[in-house]
Amino acid sequence: MEIKVLRDILEHDGEFARRTREDLRGRGVLCLNLIGAPGSGKTTMLRSLIALASDRLRFGVIIGDIASQLDAERFSPLGIPVVQLNTGGACHLSARLTRRGFEALASNELDVVMVENVGNLACPAEFDLGEDAKLSMVSVAEGHDKPVKYPLLFHQAAAHILSKTDLDPFVDFDRDQYYAALNATGHRAPVFPICAKTGEGLDAVIDWIAGMLDAKRKGREPGLRPEA
């Protein structure tokens, strides 16, 4: 019974994801779904990256959290369109809820919508929101073993952000082991080490996003998502 209910929810949610994907394709907007643990640095990176790319790309942001508007408020100085979604307890964004965010952004001329999912490496990976690609984020403070423990996300993601590299000297994160763990998931994606505090590494992420947008607008969408 429980399995049937879950299947119904996922099938129904899939319809919202399909509609969102169609809308975004029609508008030529790229959507990236950023997934990482609580405190891994998602909002900090988005703020720094969007500020740095402001002369190249028009961003909108959808933030998912269980509660509060705190993250959305952090974008106020940037003057970009931001929507805060609260799941009220669910550990991931659903396509149905996220669609409300896309609808709220629809009146803006945008190039890229960044979705910050609810913080964790497990549940959000299970849900298609209609995005073009998922991004994984792990901070060096979390440990190099995360791809081993949460393989689905790392297998699916079209790029991997390794954040808080300024903390490298203070933690025992082993990059070789991180890359080995990533490779074991069968991922086919670039890795971007970044420090959102100093901006180090963000230019490469922006170039990658611009390339993804260009590919989408040229109709090369199927290459954006790894096969299941």
Name the site residues for ligand GTP (rule: CB under 6 A).
Answer: 36, 38-44, 71, 119, 163-164, 166-167, 195-197
Decide whether 24 or 121 has the Cβ nearer to ligand GTP: 121
Q: How many CB atoms lie within 10 A of CB 26?
A: 8
The residues pairing with 162 across neighbouring beta strands, listed in sequence order, are 138, 193
Q: How far is the CB of 133 from ligand GTP (least distance, A)?
A: 18
**Residue 10: contacted member of ligand GTP, Mg ion, none (CB under 5 to 8 Å, by partner type):** none
Q: How far is the CB of 139 from ligand GTP (least distance, A)?
A: 7
Q: How far is the CB of 105 from ligand GTP (least distance, A)?
A: 19
Q: How far is the CB of 177 from Mg ion (least distance, A)?
A: 27
**x-or-dash pattern for Mg ion, window 41-70, by CB under 5 A?**
-xx---------------------------
Q: What is the DSSP letter of 88?
A: T
Q: How far is the CB of 173 from ligand GTP (least distance, A)?
A: 13
Decide whether 31 or 202 has the Cβ nearer to ligand GTP: 202
Instruction: Give the binding-site size for Mg ion (rule: CB under 5 A).
Output: 3
Amino acid in the structure at residue 7: R
Amino acid in the structure at residue 45: M
Decide whether 42 or 160 has the Cβ nearer to Mg ion: 42
